[in-house]
């Protein structure tokens, strides 16, 4: 039995280019792994049972336990890559990352399943191959293998680790219900068309990483990072879920030095000046009536790694 712990991400910069012919958008995506973790446990099952799934956690009821689950797809993809005809495995997901929350929880489970099955089956797949398989599963899956802080180009899957100093303190306000990532990208395109700027690759300049943001990360300066936080999907997430403006306002009122929607939302992310302030902001958000719950945590943290289960 192998258990893998895998972190959620927040995008400290999410620059979104025009809509490509393949339906994706080119990104300048600065991923930042934070201390909110799912755990995926892989256990062998009898011959012919295939890949089975179970899930526990507050959002477990909204996690699909069929073939669409990225953890199941990851197990099958790894088995197929190695020519394993009968990959009998049960995957249990202990879920703490919000579902459809803009924190790449499903992608995290896919990455964790790759690492867990690789260890269970004794495959020792090179990391380069795991990253390629991860990219086949989804744009955010490779980053969950790496963790830390990284710049994602292309649709987000072409990664370069970024230098970062020290620890940053974060608060995440979890909404009731999720947002669909494709729907948020579509709304971003619609808003661009409505504004008259166009939404195609020819209309929108290719985004690039912000030098001020990279400098803030490298120097470990939370005030400078707070000033540089940007998310090109934020307007679209707010358009689909206007109440998120109240959440962002509540966190800022409670002392956050920076606030933004996490990825495609609806989770809102707040940067705090220190750990004590993060706890105070989380407590204020929990009683604000603008979110379901709030978590104080820190980052960066490592990507998917084998370890002992905590529960």
Residue in 9, 26, 59, 232 annotated catalytic: 9
Tell me how far apart the alpha carbons of residues 300 and 28 are, in angstroms, rounded to a whole number. Answer: 19
* Given 27, 30, 226, 257, the residue binding ligand C5P (CB under 6 A): 27
Our finding on whether 262 is near ligand C5P (CB under 6 A) is no
Task: Please report whether residue 25 would count as binding ligand C5P according to CB under 6 A.
Answer: yes
Active site residue 9: yes
Identify which range of 59-67, 76-84, 135-143, 240-248 contacts ligand C5P by CB under 6 A.
Answer: 135-143
Scanning 124-132, 142-150, 177-185, 266-274 for contacts with ligand C5P by CB under 6 A, the matching segment is 177-185
**Is residue 4 within 8 Å of residue 89, measured between CB atoms?**
no
Is residue 140 part of the annotated active site? The answer reads: yes
CA–CA gap between residue 80 and residue 47 (Å, rounded): 16
Question: Is 114 strand, coil or helix?
Answer: helix
Taking a C-beta distance cutoff of 8 angstroms, is the pair 285, 256 a contact? Answer: no
Residue 185 makes contact with ligand C5P by CB under 6 A: yes
Tell whether residue 181 is a contact of ligand C5P (CB under 6 A).
yes
Instruction: Compute how many other C-beta atoms are within 10 angstroms of the C-beta atom of residue 277.
Output: 20
Given the DSSP bridges, would you call strands 305-307 and 293-299 parallel, antiparallel or unpaired?
unpaired
Phi and psi for 240 in degrees, rounded to 5? Answer: -80, -25
Q: Strand order in 293-299's β-sheet?
A: 258-261, 268-272, 168-174, 293-299
Partners of 248 in the β-ladder: none
Least Å distance, CB 59 to ligand C5P, is 18
According to the binding rule CB under 6 A, does residue 192 interact with ligand C5P? Answer: no
Q: In the complex, what is the shortest distance from the CB of residue 24 to ligand C5P, in angstroms, rounded to a whole number?
A: 4
Closest to ligand C5P by CB, 101 vs 156, is 156
Decide: is 68 part of the binding site for ligand C5P (CB under 6 A).
no
Using CB under 6 A as the binding rule, the residues of this chain from 137 to 176 that contact ligand C5P are 138-140, 155-156
Q: Dihedral, CA atoms, 207, 213, 215, 218, nearest 10 degrees?
A: -110
Residues designated as active site: 9, 140
Interface contacts to ligand C5P, rule CB under 6 A: 23-25, 27, 138-140, 155-156, 181-182, 185
């Amino acid at each position: 039995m192998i258990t893998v712990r895998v972190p959620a991400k927040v995008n400290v910069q999410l620059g979104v280019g025009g809509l490509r012919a393949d339906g994706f958008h080119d990104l300048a995506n600065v991923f930042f792994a934070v201390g909110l973790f799912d755990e995926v446990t892989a256990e062998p099952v009898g011959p012919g049972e295939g890949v089975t799934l179970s899930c526990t956690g507050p959002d477990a009821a909204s996690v699909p336990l069929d073939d669409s689950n990225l953890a199941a797809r990851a197990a099958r993809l790894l088995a197929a890559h190695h020519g394993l005809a009968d990959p009998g495995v049960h995957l249990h997901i202990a879920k703490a990352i919000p579902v459809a929350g803009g924190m790449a929880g499903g992608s995290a489970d896919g990455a964790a399943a790759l690492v867990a099955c690789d260890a269970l089956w004794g495959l020792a797949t090179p990391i380069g191959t795991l990253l390629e398989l991860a990219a086949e599963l989804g744009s955010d899956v490779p980053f969950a293998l790496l963790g830390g802080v990284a710049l994602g180009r292309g649709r987000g899957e072409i990664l370069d680790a970024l230098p970062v100093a020290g620890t940053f303190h974060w608060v995440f306000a979890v909404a009731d219900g999720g947002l669909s990532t494709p729907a948020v990208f579509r709304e971003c395109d619609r808003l661009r068309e409505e504004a008259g700027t166009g939404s195609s690759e020819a209309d929108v300049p290719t985004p690039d990483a912000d030098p001020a943001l990279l400098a803030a990360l490298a120097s470990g300066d939370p005030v400078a990072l707070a000033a540089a936080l940007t998310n090109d999907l934020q307007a679209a997430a707010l358009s689909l879920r206007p109440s998120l403006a109240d959440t962002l306002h509540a966190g800022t009122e409670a002392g956050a030095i920076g606030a933004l929607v996490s990825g495609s939302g609806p989770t809102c992310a707040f940067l705090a000046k220190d750990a004590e302030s993060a706890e105070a902001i989380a407590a204020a958000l929990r009683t604000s009536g603008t979110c379901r719950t709030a978590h104080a945590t820190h980052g960066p943290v490592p990507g998917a790694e084998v370890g002992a289960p905590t529960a």
